[in-house]
Amino acid sequence: MEAPAFDLNIPEARADVPESAPQEHPHILARDFSVFYGSNAAVRQVTFNIPRGLVTAVIGPSGCGKSTFLRAINRMNDLIPGCHTRGELIFGDQNVYGPQIDVAALRQRVGMVFQKPNPFPKSIFDNVAYGPHILGIRDRRKLAEIVERSLMRAALWEEVKDRLSDNALGLSGGQQQRLCVARALAIDPDVLLMDEPTSALDPRSTTRIEDLIAELRGTYTIAIVTHNMQQAARVSDFTAFLYEGWLIEFGLTQQLFTRPKEKQTEDYITGRFG
């Protein structure tokens, strides 16, 4: 197999991630996991582990089921009528689709950032405080504390600290997306799911989000769906390649992009299709 012509700059910090991390510190485990829309399978019998505290990218051509897989983790697919699953998806030690799972509690631990920035048409403060408010925190001072910390973590605090009561829709697209990250962080989740978080952003805002992912790495388990392979290579420790619902390959990002084991992976990352 010839080596794909792919320029890869793995940051120093990620160079020593052991290949065995998914087996040793699994956080989310998919076991023969499938998602169906009616009778169509969007994700087919996928099996792999998302390691704790690291960044895992899910790539693949559009329609390959990568977003569906991501949305299955915090059961956002429940909103779509006719959507059902088979197999197991284990978060921590519980099957996400188990009968006694409290979906709201699950979603409080598995935060999500969407493709398009989607702040509520409320003030910046109220956006970030929305989650804690649901958890029952009404004390204004405590809320302010959480809002400040979340905005700081999302690297947005300096830009908005003087206008917390402004409408969030007045922010730029990149700022809105970081606000959405801050909003997700405010309820202190274990996992952060990012569904093509930069596809609607300009390059500069994209860089800031990627920097943010690098900063959050280690603190949160992050799963990011992207169809930008450079981005996957830049930000992730592990990469899963999905094609037509099947998991074709999963491994260290570095290896997957430089020495892909499968022909389809190679074709995709070298841009032959997709």
Query: What does the DSSP 8-state code read for residue 220?
Result: B
Question: Which residues form the interface with other proteins (CB under 8 A)?
Answer: 25, 52-53, 74, 76, 79, 81, 91-94, 98-102, 104-109, 111-112, 114, 116, 118-122, 130-132, 134-137, 142, 145-146, 149, 153, 167, 169-170, 180, 183-184, 187-188, 190, 218-219
| Shortest Å distance, C-beta 195 to other proteins | 10
Q: What is the largest CA-CA distance in the chain?
A: 61
| Shortest Å distance, C-beta 148 to other proteins | 11
Between 88 and 188, name the residue whose CB sits nearer to other proteins: 188
Distance CA(153)–CA(236), nearest Å, equals: 19
| Shortest Å distance, C-beta 4 to other proteins | 33
Burial of 137 (0-12, 13-18, 19+ CB in 10 A): middle
Between 195 and 249, name the residue whose CB sits nearer to other proteins: 195
| Shortest Å distance, C-beta 137 to other proteins | 6
Between 1 and 79, name the residue whose CB sits nearer to other proteins: 79
Distance CA(50)–CA(29), nearest Å, equals: 6
Between 85 and 221, name the residue whose CB sits nearer to other proteins: 221
Give the H/E segment covering residue 69: helix 66-73
| Shortest Å distance, C-beta 188 to other proteins | 5
Between 132 and 251, name the residue whose CB sits nearer to other proteins: 132
Q: CB neighbours of 145 closer than 8 A, spacing ≥ 6?
A: none
Amino acid (one-letter) located at 236: S
Q: CB neighbours of 15 closer than 8 A, spacing ≥ 6?
A: none
